[in-house]
Chain A
């Protein structure tokens, strides 16, 4: 048996260290450590509740809008505010822009460059993949960055700037859209659609979302357009390297989604927990969530607490702790979350088939994200068409001096929740569970490892390999965001 510590893990957002135990070329146990702590939950205490809208986006520069939306939702829950239809759609557009840009950044800049590493030189597909995806120098890097920057003009117009906009409020968006601006926004979405259809998919978005099974996906991959696309290239790698068998976490068959993109108060993507063993969705109730700090460098109660009663007090010397990350649990269970979970809970047939056949794994998590890109762009077009310039985008709200609120949203990486308690007009408690807190949680009090810790078990590691590339695929397949994790 050998033990090794891997880090720094780059091309993830933030800081990550992984310890592995392995035997006979396979990982037997993993410990995931988030080695940086800033303490946003304490920073917020005592501030005016509206100041959360300034502070929380700065938890994370890659999903700052998701943090804003969660804070606005918590404030709305606490005040009984309801966004007008224009406000809902404008916020959906901002959130969708960020989520899709994140998926793009992840695929092109964070995930694919690993297949262009020396470890794969000599593979029959290597030259093509390296020319396209090599870190910094690959042709796709330049193309994807340019497409991303162009797509983010939506945020320039609708949000002033990205990251860290302040236009999202409990009562809607502070930036109303005029008639010609609506047309201009539509042209930006179309430009992005055209880019995706040419480079990422090699096909119409509607054709991609119509793929309803793994079998249909392979058949689609073999046709000419898709074969020359970036998704086609990825599927070719899935076949060559059997990525559908890598990074499974059979002990974590629960897929959580908070649901996203409400229109008239009804989420566009459903909320719930998909239980793969029972092949059924269970309704999600925020009362079923608790956070455990047994192995986190945090002082306080040994029993798991609901976030409204949650505490966050650093204790760097705590025995048995190995991460700043808490261990959130749903009904006491470890769950996984992310785009795949979102699509599974929402019932997309391809996502369900992927999970029924191989669970969460490197291939299904990446497909989940790309499928989501294809599904959300047409929604953006719909929301834009439905905007009604002249009608309000924001309604004023007032928050009572004593209140509590829950804000649930889906960031690109999965389920994000904010819990807020206001006393005498000031923030009394603010607790956050980020997607990567779920996925990269440490062991809980009963010793049950988090989703990544389980997914890493069985991953092949070469003797003397200081940074096994398969481990990197598994880690990055979750698209972790470590700055969010411990905030």
Chain B
């Protein structure tokens, strides 16, 4: 299975993240799975005319293209011309190359939230008219249009995340290579369900603080970051706290809130990222499937039952009070 990887309006961070994969030999592992990078801008030897020839051969159909991976948003501006990103050495806008190549690819994969939904490149007034391959924020469409299907009959596979976790990309490619990735493997926003069916909240090391609504008040506090610090872990679709980043990390274990970087529109939350918007003192972004009244009632109850240890530690940067040793009679 050959893979052509292009970068457009993004930061290259999804590639850099991929290279952090926790395996002693990433290239050999992919090769063994039958995955061959036809061209990748950070890794391949071919430069200039040689690379352009290869792209042209794929675009014309002279060379079969199994997977087109696009990293970065598609920059349609100014005025639909695509001139905010010209593919160097070709005098042509990247959006034209991507349209042609996507028309030939058996599978089309958006790597990262930029390529999936527009991401940070589409933030603010979006002067570059940035969008995703098949989405513009959470609206279906994007560069290729809502009707687009790749050769396999699937819509664009959105491996969203800013950046994506290396495993999300690798496991998607492996599943494609095995022929085991069908429509049922994608959620309503085109994301692979193997990671998008989880919430960042699952497995968060701050869960005990969450249970008692013992909240962090400032950066470096240990408490739950939902109430005051803008954390969206209860709503963000991703398995960040079940699948470590860089061997042992996650946003919430790194001391800062989840900003729901796998979601369309995360770049413009409508409030400062590190603040929780509230109405009448109650956060508006509650856990997605919990009735508000229940949440309020349970929060009041659990707050009143918060052990001193949990309450004190929540606003400290290290555990000030340790759990007590108690003779339990259990062996």
Contacts and interface: CB of A to CB of B under 8 A. Distances in A.
Given A155-B249, A157-B249, A42 B274 contact: no
Interface residues of A, number: 88
Interface string B263-305: 0000100001111000000000000000000000000000000
Contacts of B60: none
B242 interface: no
A134 interface: yes
B174 interface: no
A359 to B, nearest CB: 26
B65 interface: no
B76 to A, nearest CB: 13
A60 B9 contact: no
Contact of B254 (A55, A62, A167, A172): A167
B314 to A, nearest CB: 14
B85 interface: yes
Interface residues of B, number: 84
Interface string A167-185: 1010111111010000000
A213 interface: no
Contacts of B89: 5-9, 17
B218 interface: yes
A68 B85 CA distance: 25
A50 interface: yes
B246 A161 contact: yes
Contact of B78 (A5, A50, A316, A392): A316
A162 B20 contact: yes
A252 B41 CA distance: 30
Contact of A113 (B14, B45, B88, B275): B45
A173 to B, nearest CB: 7
Contact of A160 (B7, B39, B119, B250): B250
B125 interface: yes
Interface stretch (B21-29, B100-108, B141-149, B190-198): B21-29
A135 B43 CA distance: 7
Interface stretch (A146-154, A204-212, A363-371): A146-154
Interface in A371-391: 389-390
B16 interface: yes
A466 B245 contact: no
Interface stretch (B47-55, B131-139, B150-158, B323-331): B47-55
Nearest to B252: A160
A110 interface: yes
Interface in A439-463: none
Given A7-B89, A10-B51, A61 B163 contact: yes
B19 to A, nearest CB: 6
A150 B13 CA distance: 18
Given A13-B42, A161-B250, A165-B254, A467 B163 contact: no
A47 B120 CA distance: 13
B130 interface: yes
A36 interface: yes
Contacts of A467: 47-50
Contacts of B256: 160, 165-167, 174-175
A109 B261 CA distance: 28
A249 interface: no
A58 B48 contact: no
Contacts of A152: 20, 246-247
Given A8-B52, A176-B318, A15 B16 contact: no
A117 B49 CA distance: 15
Given A8-B88, A50-B272, A392 B219 contact: no
A105 B8 contact: no
Contacts of A134: 45
Contacts of A109: 42-43
B37 to A, nearest CB: 7
Nearest to A392: B317
Contact of B318 (A39, A53, A172, A178): A178
B45 A135 contact: yes
B262 to A, nearest CB: 13
Given A149-B20, A176-B318, A7 B247 contact: no
Given A142-B28, A472-B47, A394 B218 contact: yes
Max chain A Cβ within 10 angstroms of own Cβ: one of B27, B51, B248: B248
Contacts of A483: 10-12
A466 B120 CA distance: 36
Given A171-B219, A316-B78, A164 B162 contact: yes
Contact of A35 (B20, B46, B88, B119): B88
A55 B266 CA distance: 11
B84 A160 contact: no
B75 A10 contact: no
Interface in A242-296: none
Nearest to A169: B219
A122 interface: no
Main secondary structure of the interface of B (DSSP, over half): loop
B11 A61 contact: yes
Contact of B21 (A6, A149, A158): A149
A141 B27 contact: yes
B90 interface: yes
Contact of B27 (A16, A64, A110, A145): A145
A250 to B, nearest CB: 27
A159 B48 CA distance: 37
A434 interface: no
Nearest to A176: B317
A124 interface: no
Nearest to B93: A35
Contacts of A160: 245, 249-256
A86 to B, nearest CB: 9
Contact of B47 (A8, A43, A62, A314): A8
B116 to A, nearest CB: 14
B56 interface: no
Contacts of B130: 38
A148 B219 CA distance: 28
Contact of A8 (B17, B87, B124, B273): B87
B78 A14 contact: no
A453 to B, nearest CB: 16
A156 interface: yes
A316 B84 contact: yes
B46 A393 contact: no
Interface string B63-106: 00000000000010010010111111110001000000000000
Nearest to A155: B246
Contact of A153 (B25, B94, B247): B247
Given A8-B48, A17-B86, 14 more contacts: A5-B89, A8-B90, A9-B48, A39-B127, A109-B43, A145-B27, A156-B247, A160-B249, A160-B251, A162-B20, A162-B246, A171-B219, A176-B318, A389-B318
Interface of B: 7-17, 19-28, 37, 39, 41-52, 75, 78, 81, 83-90, 94, 119-121, 123-125, 127-128, 130, 162-163, 218-220, 244-257, 259, 261, 267, 272-275, 317-318
11 contacts: A7-B89, A42-B125, A61-B12, A142-B24, A152-B246, A161-B246, A164-B261, A173-B255, A176-B220, A394-B219, A483-B11
Chain A to chain B: the 8 pairs with minimum beta-carbon distance, closest first: A160-B254, A61-B13, A7-B89, A7-B88, A156-B246, A156-B249, A174-B255, A161-B245
